[in-house]
Chain A
């Protein structure tokens, strides 16, 4: 038996099996980063958006998978592209190379990548102005701190996270020029996004150094910060999703990064035939980034602080305040 017939036998078999699993017309695949769907952070946000699309848009089916290792991204993307999936959404910077490779190979398929830019006609890159949102929560922290010290915990020391940090610090200094920022990073491997124990350790240490409000942008590691805040009776700020509910009373607010919204929009646009390649930016203006207020933090976030943040938001949108962007600074 030649390889060809062997392979085609298997393909036949596969072709026979695949239709059992899926039946809808428009098929969306969501490939999550290694943090997994329960990170309560950006993977969760993507899942939320995609699930909402499945529920609300007619004729759309959804398959969600999580990658096991860096080499699995490409393999998964390829598996989806080979099958009859129409739109493949990749979440996270580490998938950039894989998306680049696979999208070139399957030019008839649509790809979306969150948090990174891949320049190809069939790839839509969803980029968020994290620095703007971070500026607002930084301003909130700067206003509310009693000790004059605030903390930041990043998942990994990469430009994306530096962007959060820079915006956050600038926001705090804008309202409180004497505010001091303590910064730490959880780790150096992708494990950093999923290491709450280490994040907790860092948070406890920052609180110990006098910080009374700590903002973390560390994916699933964030829960470590929230535990520490509860234990130390201090404040924390969540990230990506609205995390206020996780420890009500201790989470001052969350810097929202509306990946859910962006993912939903991408699905609905493509379903309607409105897919466009290129970069889509989400900032304060279109509520792609924001800070959260809900029943869990209403009582701890004073009205006047909220008002001030809203005012700053308007000033940023109008261009009156220029928020420093780590990406621009580097160039």
Chain B
């Protein structure tokens, strides 16, 4: 049944529902995307936006509902069918084979995807038919020209190209496959502001040529500057559809969260200078000789964090931030004396008055934690939580030796339970089911649980890495307040984030990290997003 619309929608989802383990991920999703428009899908973590897109792309099969592409009903069971119908998707984690050249990566995808023949037959076909590299390259260059994308050196191994370029390769791959409907999943998560800007202008050029773009994001500012229309999901359902011209950030945020959200945090009071809690001087890190796995080197890193201040480290991911955190937390792993270490660190680090790293001393991670260091790790699933364990056990993690929770080597289950219950109440972790496995929690609640755990013992140094990544708007607000509260109480905070907004809102001082070095330093209010973005891209290096 046709709707009374003048033009047929490029993509239409009707009443799509999908259940996992009986839990609804999507319920009666309706979505209409005009041909030639940019349509944003926004929602909190776990709102079902990725599921909806994966259904559209053929990865999941809907339990109910139908998919219409240009008015035709489609049922597909594999992405290959979606691809041949002109749908392409750029995943958040690029699907590229590192050591192969950019060209090979594109051809790889096409060889396999562009046929609906059985896999074995396809394999034989592609073996039998020599690949016309020159022709392919010429065609790709023409495509780049046509859509106004910057040229790419097709012969370089893809892993040596900057992320922004890799993303361009992914997009060109879709164009090469003659996709007319492009789905982009969180495309800006790994980009500098400048790269983001370029991406957006590229996407706009694509729509001028009639391509339709669906973009999944949780960054409302990007929706406002890029999209024509926006569909908001919450808890698996569509809760709103707006033309971007008719809405405001605040309205979208409230739709996403289901309540009014205060997006602006009152600027914190001036920092009260206290003793340094973290002093790093002349820290170097280099891959140990003979090791195959390369570690991003660090060079001449020196800075300190005082009690009562937030020091933000800005930078595009992969510029040595992870390595810096690892060295701070596990100095032993980077010792020359440790024959298993993949990299060696030199220089010195003092934490809360104790030397944790110099030529002679390397404290164990356990000792560092016990000094009073709280850690919100970068990757909360891998480093922060035991996903298959209960909230209670996760709350204990890292505090198992504190006298509050153990005595003579045995866990004090009663006091653990009491503290855990209190903490999830105070830090508003939902649902309040202490025996629930953590993997069942939403991203925001998982992060709140980590914060509950790390803040419970009032750390004097807090290392917070990407504390709001993948966390919904409501939780972001909550987490930011907690970090500032800790600062008020006198804790020093080292905030590592690739979100400029976050750094600008929280940090008293901002250090910019690029290629393993601190390349710029600003005080609060000294730097604009533009200036920071340039430094992050290496302009000051």
A/B: CB atoms within 8 Å of each other: no
Q: Measuring CB to CB, which residues of chain B are less than 8 angstroms from any residue of chain A? A: none
Interface on A for B, CB 8 Å cutoff? none
